Amino acid sequence: MDENDDEVDASQMLEAAPDGGFCLPKGGGGDGDDDDIDDFRSSPPHKRPKLGGDEGQQQDPSPPVAPRPKPAAAAAKALNVARKIKRKKAPKIYFGTRTHKQIAQIVRELNKTEYRNVNMTILGSRDHTCIHPVVSKMKSRNEGCRELNDRKKNGGSGGCSYMSNVKSKLGTHAAVSSYRGGKQDAWDLEDLVKVGKKARACPYYATRELKGKSDIVFCPYNYLVEPTIRDSMEIYLKGQVVILDEAHNIEDSARSAASWQVTQDELQEAMRDLEKVAQADVLPDSHRRLATLCSQLCCFMDAHKDQKQADYKEFNSESRIWNGVEFSGLLDAEQMGPLHAAELNEHYKLVAAEFQANKEEQQSDDGMSNADAVPSLSAPTIQLLESYFLILGYLNVRDKRHRNDYRVALTKTQSRIPARYVQNEIEVDNFAEFRDNYFYPHCSFAGYDFFFA
């Protein structure tokens, strides 16, 4: 084969493409893979339209070019896209310590770092933060604070003026900083108490107001471990960071969180509170059922108080002790134990929901008069019921496999009776006449309490 033959063969292998280019014929060369052949095809050039006459004229195959958007329209479109992007919220850090003194040490160390200006707060009890001139001198500041802020007991008005000033004077970290002379570093409870006195605003409620706006929250162990405290302080740990200082001490706090101690006087007070609300025709069936529960617990104490076979004796006290299995059987025999927990818990949920709704109504309606107010339970009664059903839940959890881990002690203690108990004896007797099916035990020189641990 000569050079001319080679030129003819090569020219035959090239075919004219419809767009004026060249392509390899199908089945020619290589392994016959069309996809590989496409890689060698030239892209069609953009042709200018011919001038004059429409006949025989090829139209421009390229798509029309859209006009460029104006800068303002482009910026608005970008803003809409940015709004649709969900920003991830940084988790809150909860730093738990064993005591408040340790929190002060942590704050001092925090002020030595680059993060000393971080938004923070310290959750503490009223014992450490109350500055009210009367309540702060009481033995039970928690109870004094609740009574002071109970609008129903104060004719629908009144309350603590220090608490009312929190949102307007100490509701933000900037406000706290202004009262501290512009300092933005971390502070401890003593600093906040000084600020509260200067601003005449409650430090206790100020720490709770700042919690939602803080990146770091310092608090004792029990604020993180005990479910009742978490609920009352609105602490939600899901998705947050929890740091425990000296975590080997958490065992005692966890044991304490799963324990409960209640006195006979507290049960009697809760029983009267529940009956008072039932008489006002507010969920009467549920309130009376829970009042019966408190009465049954009181009767149980009286039934076992005189037993001479005490398991533990001291100079002024003696105790009877049961394990969790034994005590669960005793409670079930009186229809107030784990077997009846579901029925009792339904009544408690209704009562707790009514209490919460009434509480929110009080907060929203500042002008509520005492006559228009709907009777509601006190906070100590709700807390007592909540603790009882928490213990029942622990006895039933995981197919009751942990019941035997519990020990229940009924303790009789000799003590002097304050004058207020002598006055309450008349009230109890009068109330017993109204409810004949309840037995209200009263002991002159002895106090009884259950301790679940």
pLDDT at 253: 85
pLDDT at 78: 67
- Backbone φ, ψ for residue 266 (5° rounding): -65, -40
pLDDT at 31: 46
Strand-pair partners of 446: 414
pLDDT at 9: 46
pLDDT at 111: 93
pLDDT tens digit at each of 453 positions of the chain: 444 444 444 444 444 444 444 444 444 444 444 444 444 444 454 445 444 444 445 555 555 655 665 666 666 666 666 666 666 778 999 999 988 888 999 999 999 999 999 999 999 889 889 999 999 888 888 888 888 887 555 555 567 889 999 999 999 999 999 999 999 899 999 999 999 999 999 999 999 999 999 999 999 998 999 888 888 888 999 999 999 998 888 888 888 888 888 888 899 999 999 999 999 988 999 999 999 999 999 888 888 776 566 676 777 777 888 888 888 888 888 888 888 888 999 999 999 998 888 877 766 655 444 445 678 888 889 989 998 888 888 888 777 887 888 888 888 777 665 544 444 433 333 333 333 333 333 322 234 455 555
Which domains are present in the chain?
A: 93-257 (3.40.50.300), 260-452 (no CATH)
pLDDT at 155: 54
